[in-house]
Structure 1
Amino acid sequence: MNNEVSEKNHNIYFVPGLHRGLRLLEAVAVADKPLSITEIAARLELSRSSAFRLVYTLQFMGFLRADPEGRTFELGSRVLNLGFSFLAKQDIIQTARRDLEALRDKTGISTHLAIRDGLEVLFLDCVQTRTGFLSNVNVGTRLPAYASPMGWLMLTELPNRELSTLYKEVEFKALTENTPTDLGTLMQMIAKASSDGYVISHGMVEQGGSSVTAPVFDQSGQIVAAIDISGPDNAFDQKNDETFYIEAVLEAAGAISARLGYRP
């Protein structure tokens, strides 16, 4: 926007309500805990009634979400969708691509990059193997997060209370006999993924398929994505043990994370 035009017509074009709403989202985003309406009002120097109206509107639109008691608020999934869409369009695919290609070349197996979009894992990129064992997962593919090793790793960011709320009304449908079919089992999978820092899967998503998955961190240390190598069992060279594949995937995930500003 032309600066001169902006300055001359600031009072005409500037929308105070929109400005307050966006400032509210920024305040909630940088807070180290969910905020009450009173705390939000204080941080924005607004009356409690004004803060309440803003919070109500943003919660209605999905940009904020309340705790189970409705007393405090944090960013909602719609904000995450905007952030993930920005990453997908601007940075993370380009950032990860060369490491996914190098991982494919090192292991001989197709590689993937995905993010969590609410209850689903959304695949942003796929680098196909040069062998005949092509991946059947394409860009744009969505899988239930509860049924995906990538999902388990990315769900480690949520405390058990939030997981319980997120999956309160979700019907677990098994993709294979190894798919978690209840919240308790899912939490066990997530806890192990968090402890190990990676996931080895055999027949979790589809029978006869295997994968090795690792998380991708951003500058703040949050898990923003996951990568994997995956394909049919016979795509994995029996001359290489699991350690070879784990180290290769972790190395690639670490390189991508470093480019996103992550410092362990």
Structure 2
Amino acid sequence: MTRHVLKSVPGDRVITEAQRSDPLFIQSVARAMQVLSAFHGVDGALSLAEIAKSAGIDRSAAQRIVHTLRQLGYLRLDKDGRGFLPDIRILDHTHDYLSLNPVVRNATPVLLELRRNTQERVDLSLFDDVRVVYAARMQSKRENFFATLVGHSVPTYCSSGGRAILSKLDDDEVQDIIARSDRTPLTPRTITDPERVMSKVHEAREQGFALAREEILIGEIALGVPIMGHDGRPCGAIHIAGSLSDWHEEAFRDRFFPLAAEAALAISRF
């Protein structure tokens, strides 16, 4: 099965002139984060030259930053000693984010109950502009490795949770997100035409949920319901995903929309 991981592209993290002129902005810290961002979406260790190129810095700067991050436990040599990989200290920051995020913390017992009631995969995603990032994943027995990873992300415009989130934004903002999205199809069934995507968003706005059929994974149907933040804007979504070999679309919708809506409302109240 193809792995699809949408991440912030390191090249998009270039230091702008406005940041350079900001007296509080520390460029060396920004370059260190660019080095760590070089590992987004890769499938193996990176050489020093590959890190420098991806991070948009010269080899000498990359060497110093990589050495520092190795000393601090954020990078390590691979088993062959020829490339570098993220190290265990990065997980400390993942734990900090998840444990201190009130949506994730308050959603956990709700998601556990939802998983028990549905017996299908249940995900919590957080809204990050053109992508949604999975912050909690409660898989079914048939999931593959990447479908269980926290931090995996998918495009907002074509995922069930993403469209549910977009349904709570005004059309101008939705169109801007769609226009800035990389609309390379993930499967032959991914809807990429902006007008058709907008139609799906309007449909979700009317129904209170979004359905995506084989747009992220072939053979999968997913239902998404938005989670609202205290500011009245959507902050994330609940996804319930099942197999088309087990479910017809209408039966899936009728069975799981009420459960997902109740769970999303419970989380939004926190």
Same fold (TM over 0.5): yes
Which residue identity does 1:208 align to in structure 2? G
Checking the alignment, whether the CA contact within 8 Å between 1:115 and 1:124 is kept in structure 2 is yes
TM norm structure 2: 0.58
Q: Which has the larger radius of gyration?
A: 1
Write the deviation string for residues 162-208 of structure 1: whole angstroms up to 9, x where unpaired: 33333435442112233221211111111111111112332122110
Checking the alignment, whether the CA contact within 8 Å between 1:134 and 1:231 is kept in structure 2 is no
Checking the alignment, whether the CA contact within 8 Å between 1:157 and 1:222 is kept in structure 2 is yes
Which residue identity does 1:133 align to in structure 2? R
TM norm structure 1: 0.59
Specify the SS of the correspondent of 2:157. helix
Specify the SS of the correspondent of 1:104. helix
Pairing 1:101–2:112 present: yes
CA 1:219/1:209 → structure 2, altered by over 3 Å: closer, same or farther?
A: same
CA 1:98/1:189 → structure 2, altered by over 3 Å: closer, same or farther?
A: same
Pairing 1:118–2:129 present: yes
In structure 2, the partner of 1:134 is 143
Matches within 5 A, 1:75-90: 89-90=100-101
Structure 1: distance between partners of 2:100 and 2:168: 23
Matches within 5 A, 1:18-37: none
Structure 2: distance between partners of 1:237 and 1:161: 34
In structure 1, the partner of 2:155 is 144
CA 1:180/1:137 → structure 2, altered by over 3 Å: closer, same or farther?
A: farther
Identical-pair percentage: 23
Specify the SS of the correspondent of 1:147. coil
Paired residues in the alignment total: 177
- Aligned alpha-carbon RMSD (Å): 2.8
Q: Which runs of 5+ in 2 are unaligned?
A: 1-16, 23-95
Structure 1: distance between partners of 2:189 and 2:163: 14
Write the deviation string for residues 81-101 of structure 1: whole angstroms up to 9, x where unpaired: xxxx97873311110011111
Which residue identity does 1:207 align to in structure 2? I
Q: Which runs of 5+ in 1 are unaligned?
A: 1-55, 62-84
Specify the SS of the correspondent of 2:254. helix
CA 1:87/1:221 → structure 2, altered by over 3 Å: closer, same or farther?
A: farther
